[in-house]
Structure 1
């Protein structure tokens, strides 16, 4: 039976967008959900998620103007990843 580890993730995006969830907590929750999801997500999904989360962490080191990718775009990419991961089953 699949776990519901991924279900709460959209709420974390909303909380992050509203400033109610710090970036490090967002990243930690997404990594934990992907790791704890049963059945295990395919490796390519975990790889893509890790790449997106790493970009998000890197974006925090720079101001929005000096970063080559926007935090908004990266958060939207997380949402897209979530939709595709949920479609797996």
Structure 2
């Protein structure tokens, strides 16, 4: 799978989770994002560090109810979307 396809897959997971219709899974997003070796190899190393940090926090937020977790899942998904947008910009450059 190409880097562009991998970023599209991550973006689709984020959209599904943001829609709230139950069509998305934090586990699926995390697994696919962590397995995106083509994408991570095509980006500067800092992108990988930021992605893994966001995924760790997102996975933690999924373990707790929204009120008891210090990480807002919605905010983390928003940050992941920003990451996707910036990563797309890097791929085009």
TM score, norm. by length of structure 1: 0.84
2:66 match: secondary structure: coil
Pairwise CA RMSD: 1.8
Query: Which structure 1 residue ranges, 4+ long, deviate > 2 Å from structure 2?
Result: none
- Stretch deviating more after TM superposition (68-77 or 36-45): 36-45
For structure 2, the residue ranges without an aligned partner over 5 or more in a row are: none
TM score, norm. by length of structure 2: 0.81
Deviation sequence 1:23-68 (CA, Å, 0-9, x none)? 11111112223x2227521110000000000000011121100111
Q: Which structure's residues are more often helix, by fraction?
A: 2
Q: Distance in 2 between matches of 1:47 and 1:10?
A: 18
Matched, 1:73 2:75: yes
Q: Give the corresponding residue for 1:26.
A: 29
For structure 1, the residue ranges without an aligned partner over 5 or more in a row are: none
